[in-house]
Structure 1
Amino acid sequence: MTTIDTSAALSPPRNWTVRLGWGLSGLFILFMIFDGGIKLVPIDPVIQTMTELGYPVQYARLLGVLSLVATLLYAIPRTSVLGAVLLTAYLGGAVSTHLRIGSPLFSHTLFGVYMGLFAWGGLWLRNPRLRAIFPVLR
């Protein structure tokens, strides 16, 4: 049985690490607030996109509420990991949808993957417990 040395991961993080983590998380949160907000008040681009993706337009508000709730959970430090998991599921659905309709791979289909890496990267930099679970270096 092996043990993981968590002393380095749980030591106080460097100041720049936490700042960079909150910076990445802040940008992600702002993007998700914008994305969820425009779905609450379906404007023409949202209506067109929902139609192109093959979803009824009335689902836009539901998707907006789901993304905003998950983003709120991600923004609160105590619930940030739960929010990140929910947002990963949400973004996975976006990847699946774009894959289903044959969207361009690197610009549309994988955009949800890029955003997920951005969200988890920011959370990893600002959360020492997460760094203990997923250490980059041993």
Structure 2
Amino acid sequence: MPKRNFNTLEEFKANLHKEGATLVEFSGGKVPCILVSPKKYEELLGKVYGKKMSADTLLDIFYDGQDVFVDVNIKFAGADFDGNFLLYANDMIEFFDALAESGLIALAPSETTFTNSQNVFMIQLPKKDAAERALAIIKANARKKTK
């Protein structure tokens, strides 16, 4: 899971995760969910199904006092599968609040024909406090742009 570096705002915007993200209901709470293409989702399931594995999750935060981007890196040990999902945190405070609260992150296929409770892959964060620190950084640095 290589660390990615971006030098300009245009590079950040060009590398944003295109499938999107949402919140899903789980056990009476909200869990942040990153949407991926159905093909990538099926590839993930094929590599992890029936295997003992762990997921290492890293939140790489980039901010300049106005714009906050979070590169969510997930690597599945023993499954030869990883993903980088660059998100614009200014518009996703509730997403990161749910991440800090639940200590869970989910992956699901992006197409609505695939979306149901059976097609959500949950990952427990190894360190919930990292999500809490990330949320504090996001709240302190994300500024809504005036129109």
Give the TM-score, by structure 1 length: 0.30
Larger Rg: 1
Larger RCO, structure (CA 8 Å, separation 6 or more): 1
Give the structure with the higher percent strand.
Answer: 2
Give the TM-score, by structure 2 length: 0.29
